Structure 1
Amino acid sequence: MNVIRDLISGAWTGALDLVFAPICVACREPVSTTEPERIVCRVCWTRCRPLPAPRCDRCWGPVPAREDPRPKCRTCGEWPAAVRSIRSAFVMGTEPRALVHALKYGGWRAAAEPMSARMAAMTWPRDVDDEARLVVAVPTSRSRLRERGYNQAVLLADGFARRTGRASAPGLLVRTRASATQTALHPGERKANVARAFTAPAAGAGELRGEHVILVDDVWTTGATALACSQALLEAGARVVSVATFARVIPELER
């Protein structure tokens, strides 16, 4: 019975490939039907760059040559101690930007699967591996949720949690007010734009209390959104927050 089912499934997949040939959402070129991943081609993945070394052990921010980020990194030195670790799978560039755009604005929900798989492969400090068991997505506003039909951060958080053996915990963090898009704002404006824009409902306080939470978003730019979310989680009783994103904007490399 299983053999017959596999034959039927294979024939159906082959027929779909003839009619709807898989196309890479990043470069828009055809993807070979023999590839195990059909959303993003292998070439585009090879063009996605990891964050460069040397980098800070805590925040993975770039560290100038011959400079020791300890005891105070230029990027994370002023952050609360309870914000433990920041990790991003790739530097923002042409291919990562295309993937984020396809997921966030193009309706390509399926792109979250291979993207979250790369996030799940990131390395963390041992205490994060040992302690963090809850995964929380950065929430979006109701208007954007209606417009897109989904929150891309939730899709990434679900895939990340499933692949790392953690629990995705929707509803533990909510956005209390809509804010202007962060895209064109300077760092100080970004921080003001999201100040007190998030809260953790009292109903989830028991689930958060004493936990090390991993917060998930698609992109880290200045960190304003993630830090505002972290503050809300910590005020609600979380003990520590770490952050995972698919891409990270590094202005020095962008220039």
Structure 2
Amino acid sequence: MGLLHGLADLVFAPRCLACGGPAGPRPPVCGRCRSRLPPPPPPLCPRCGFPRLRTGRDPGARCQECADWPIGIRLARSACLLRGPAAALVHQLKYRGWRALAGVMAERMAGVPLPGDVRRETGLIVPVPTTRRRVRERGYNQAGLLARALAESTRRTAFCALSRAAAGTSQTTLQPAARRANVAGAFSLAADRRHDIAGEHLLLVDDVLTTGATVTACAEVLVGAGARCVSVLTFARAPGRLRLD
């Protein structure tokens, strides 16, 4: 009987959603995969948090990744690079319906070091919106799930301040310039939210930061509607081609 119970535990044990192995005591992600979610390696751009390979430069200098970002963006940070288990978790949350991963991912995001002013001032979290069609297809907005989980764990308030028009081409298939053009005019302030964001330092949340086209478009709308500034926090940063800037 003990052998049968052992086999049943082996067959029906929760599986890790990143690697497919046994999830262990903290499902739905095993301890090994949790340990393989390292933060972006320093040195980082002090504004956008992009990993920079060249050392010896002025540590306060900005990189070319954020040179054209609007001044309303205070900074951007990510919990990990979009590699290995991190990429698997993003995929499972975004495309496979595993909503429970939002808590695991938000836990990592909550541990990202932020400057004192950002920690103190960002009491309001705004998720990057997706289109109504995507919400109907998936049943949720993954950034919204992350925002709510992060708000709960950090005692902030999450609310939807933005809406997104019907999407054209998926951002995942586009080069940087095309990404910016693709989201131009795509975002607008949600109804009756102008008073909520007036004068606020907002924390904009998404699953992945790639070129920054989406978050900069969102930030421009928020600041244009009266927000004082916007900081960005994502679960993962797409490494792309790490420039020797």
TM-score by length of 1: 0.87
Structure 1 residue 60: Cα displacement: 1.0
Aligned match of 2:112 in 112, 122, 136? 122
Q: C-alpha separation between the residues in 1 aligned to 2:131 and 2:196? A: 23
Query: What is residue 242 of structure 1 aligned with on the other side?
Result: 231
Unaligned runs of 5+ in 2: 1-7
1:29 paired with 2:21, answer yes
Q: CA RMSD in A?
A: 1.8
Whether the aligned pair in 1 keeps the contact of 2:65 and 2:211 (CA below 8 Å) is: no
Structure 1 residue 71: Cα displacement: 4.5
- Residues 253 and 46 of structure 1, relative CA distance in 2, 3 Å threshold: farther
Deviations 1:211-242 (A, max 9, x none): 01000000001110111111111111111100
Query: What is residue 138 of structure 1 aligned with on the other side?
Result: 128
Query: What is residue 216 of structure 2 aligned with on the other side?
Result: 227
Matched AA of 2:78: S
Matched AA of 2:32: V
Whether the aligned pair in 1 keeps the contact of 2:127 and 2:204 (CA below 8 Å) is: yes
- Residues 162 and 70 of structure 1, relative CA distance in 2, 3 Å threshold: same
* Residues 144-223 of structure 1: pairs in structure 2 closer than 5 A: 144-170=134-160, 172-223=161-212
SS of equivalent residue, structure 1 residue 100: helix
Q: C-alpha separation between the residues in 1 aligned to 2:88 and 2:77? A: 20
Q: C-alpha separation between the residues in 2 aligned to 1:253 and 1:94? A: 17
- Residues 69 and 184 of structure 1, relative CA distance in 2, 3 Å threshold: farther
Deviations 1:185-224 (A, max 9, x none): 0000000001110011341100010001000000001110
Whether the aligned pair in 2 keeps the contact of 1:202 and 1:236 (CA below 8 Å) is: no
Query: What is residue 5 of structure 2 aligned with on the other side?
Result: none
Unaligned runs of 5+ in 1: 1-15
Q: C-alpha separation between the residues in 1 aligned to 2:98 and 2:92? A: 5
Greater RCO, CA 8 A, separation 6+? 2
TM-score by length of 2: 0.91
SS of equivalent residue, structure 2 residue 192: helix
Structure 1 residue 253: Cα displacement: 5.7
- Equivalences, count: 235
Q: Percent identity between the aligned chains?
A: 49
Q: C-alpha separation between the residues in 2 aligned to 1:202 and 1:211? A: 17
